[in-house]
């Protein structure tokens, strides 16, 4: 049976997960790709937060504590608002993007914001794996090619931040229900991606030796 995780996720629950475990995730999470990670590292972690950026910092600090960031550049459409209501958005497609591009930033983001989960595809490197082990987080592999299916788990776009980065690169704050993913890097120093790479190298060596 899949493990059901609800944001904010307690560290104890994360520590119980192992690579290969299936997860159904619910709660409010954030999307964030290259521009978002660079912005967080340079504006909030490496430097002093400018007063103008303080409101967003407070939102991220609260929302990412025990929370999840999703490496995703969604396809989004505007929905005609009801009278007197602000404009709304819906996710049309929400497939994962390649995570390794965030390797220079992710460990610092996990530590500073108290992340419990990172979602993407393809896995990440040694720095992120070490941060997962030290601070109690996991990497969750989402299904590539299932962008429309994943979008169906997005029940509400709560807010969008830094839309000036562009739709794919903005922080989308979304509420998901039963978002399906698999633990491929756990908080015990294990990486399914490393195991697959090692097995592939071993099998290649065996073939070349024949």
Tell me which residues are annotated as active site.
Answer: 37
Burial letters for 15-25: b for 16+ Cβ neighbours within 10 Å, e otherwise? Answer: eebebebebbb
Tokens, residue 145: 């090619």
Answer yes or no: are the C-beta atoms of 185 and 124 closer than 8 Å.
Answer: yes
| DSSP state, residue 152 | T
What is the C-alpha to C-alpha distance for residues 146 and 65, in angstroms, rounded to an integer? 28
Q: How many C-beta atoms lie closer than 10 Å to residue 196's C-beta? A: 12
């Amino acid at each position: 049976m899949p493990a059901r995780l609800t944001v904010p996720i307690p560290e104890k629950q994360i520590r119980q997960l192992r690579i290969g475990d299936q997860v159904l995730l619910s709660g409010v999470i954030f999307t964030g790709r290259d521009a978002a990670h660079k912005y967080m590292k340079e504006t909030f972690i490496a430097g002093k937060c400018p007063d103008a950026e303080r409101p967003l910092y407070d939102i991220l600090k609260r929302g990412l504590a025990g929370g999840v960031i999703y490496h995703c550049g969604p396809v989004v459409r505007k929905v005609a608002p009801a009278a007197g209501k602000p404009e709304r958005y819906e996710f049309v497609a929400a497939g994962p993007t390649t995570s390794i591009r965030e390797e220079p930033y992710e460990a610092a983001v996990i530590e500073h914001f108290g992340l419990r989960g990172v979602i993407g595809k393809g896995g990440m490197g040694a720095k992120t794996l070490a941060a997962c082990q030290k601070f109690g987080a996991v990497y969750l592999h989402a299904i590539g090619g299932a962008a429309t299916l994943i979008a169906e788990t997005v029940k509400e776009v709560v807010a969008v931040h830094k839309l000036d980065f562009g739709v794919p690169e903005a922080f989308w704050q979304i509420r998901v229900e039963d978002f399906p993913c698999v633990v491929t890097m756990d908080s015990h120093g294990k990486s399914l991606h490393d195991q697959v790479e090692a097995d592939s190298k071993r099998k290649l060596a065996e073939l070349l030796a024949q």
